[in-house]
Amino acid sequence: MPAVSKGDGMRGLAVFISDIRNCKSKEAEIKRINKELANIRSKFKGDKALDGYSKKKYVCKLLFIFLLGHDIDFGHMEAVNLLSSNRYTEKQIGYLFISVLVNSNSELIRLINNAIKNDLASRNPTFMGLALHCIASVGSREMAEAFAGEIPKVLVAGDTMDSVKQSAALCLLRLYRTSPDLVPMGDWTSRVVHLLNDQHLGVVTAATSLITTLAQKNPEEFKTSVSLAVSRLSRIVTSASTDLQDYTYYFVPAPWLSVKLLRLLQCYPPPDPAVRGRLTECLETILNKAQEPPKSKKVQHSNAKNAVLFEAISLIIHHDRCVGCLCTGSRCGRVRKPFLRDYVNCCPRSFSLEDGRPGPCVLRCLRLCRLSSWPSCR
């Protein structure tokens, strides 16, 4: 772990922020900022070499000034130099400055990429996390060219810590969204699917987001994720809230992960009969839980519960199950009409054809819900 000293608090920065807050007018604030900028510039250009603490303090001041809305045209090189430090606080400030102020077309990108490569190769989980966060924050094509082939290796490596796996999955997702042509499919795709079985639900949540996006354009590469997603969903919906204490939100176990898994399953047609039976049981459980008395009167509970319910209904519709059976009580579940009415009003696109008109099975649904007209798809 990086060395973090108790004396890392920057008194000079605290005094500067206090002075800014005590300014009585905008003119007084600008005068104080210009004075500080002149002092920082003289320190950077001085003959005396600055230690890591001083660089960190002055870079922090520049970052604060930038966040106040003032332009900063120097200090970038000093921030890059902080990346080579072995002290966590100095490296953290360097990455923070770069993530906020450095343009993707900057001449310093090569130096930044070299520092990031060193941190990814260090196997220090804290430094690796900082590097991955920086890549995702900048998200430029140059970053994708440099690291799109390296991040999958970090993601599927057996000795990678859970926190780094989460960051790597979300970082790769960011690069794929900005430069999909630069993220190569390879042997890692079959290994990343097995992250759906990971014991750490944070890793599973991040991996599900990545796999869902990748599967939309490369369904064959990730078709094995269907059975794993159904298995994980089954374990969530059948568990008690006490079994997933760290991931239970207002008595709803892992609602975000449940929604993501249901969306992943919508990338594929209905699974084979063996998996379909288990999926049907999951959907029945979700639909039946929606009719149970609420365990909390707070809106957060109903929001989480309905989010999972609506996504389950979307999956049923995606699998071409008759919408009306949700009201009448067939094998795929029993939902009272108010739930379906709310879903129709909230998600009309789920029932609609490409031209925005309702699909053929919606007419029965409208009659069951007693809706006089079809909700507009805005």
User: What is the model's pLDDT at position 360?
Assistant: 52
Q: What is the mean pLDDT of residues 52-62?
A: 93
Tens digit of pLDDT for each residue in 251-293?
Answer: 999 999 999 999 999 999 888 888 988 998 999 899 888 888 8
Q: Please give the pLDDT value at position 289.
A: 87
Strands (E), 121-269: 248-249, 252-253
Mean pLDDT score across all residues of the chain: 83
User: What pLDDT digit, counting tens, does each position of 61-71 carry?
Assistant: 999 999 999 99
Does the pLDDT value for residue 345 go beyond 90?
no
HSE-CB for 11 with a 13 A CA cutoff: 2
332 pLDDT more than 80: no
- The answer on pLDDT for 318 being more than 60 is yes
Report, as an integer, the average pLDDT of 324-332. Answer: 42
Report the predicted TM-score, pTM, of the whole model to 2 decimal places. 0.82
Look at 50 and 210; give whichever has higher pLDDT.
Answer: 210
- Report pLDDT for 344: 56
pLDDT tens digit sequence for 97-111: 999 988 777 788 889
Q: How confident is the model at residue 337 (pLDDT cuts 50, 70, 90)?
A: low
For 138, list phi and psi in degrees, rounded to 5.
-75, -50
Instruction: Encode pLDDT of 288-311 as tens digits.
Output: 888 888 888 999 999 999 899 989
- For the segment 32-38, the average pLDDT, to the nearest whole number, is 95
pLDDT over threshold 70, residue 21: yes
Q: What confidence score (pLDDT) does residue 369 get?
A: 52
How many angstroms separate the first and last alpha carbons of the chain? 51
Q: Average pLDDT, stretch 115-141? A: 93
The pair of structure tokens assigned to 63 is 């970052």
53, pLDDT greater than 60:
yes
Q: Which of 184, 235, 232, 242 is nearest to 207 (CA)?
A: 232
Kindly state the average pLDDT of the residues 324-341: 47
Bridge partner residues of 299 (DSSP): none
Which pLDDT score, from 0 to 100, does residue 319 have?
79
How does residue 4 score in pLDDT terms, banded at 50, 70 and 90?
very low
Flag whether pLDDT at 208 surpasses 60: yes
> What percent of the chain shows pLDDT beyond 70?
81
pLDDT one-digit tens code per residue, 77-92: 999 999 999 999 999 9
Share of the chain above pLDDT 90, in %: 55
3 state SS of 333: strand
3 DSSP β-pair partners: 87
Output the pLDDT for position 351.
52
Q: What pLDDT digit, counting tens, does each position of 148-198 carry?
A: 999 999 999 989 999 999 999 999 999 999 999 999 888 899 899 999 999
Q: Give the residue, 378 or 34, on which the prediction is more confident.
A: 34
Can you tell me the mean pLDDT for 142-153?
Answer: 91
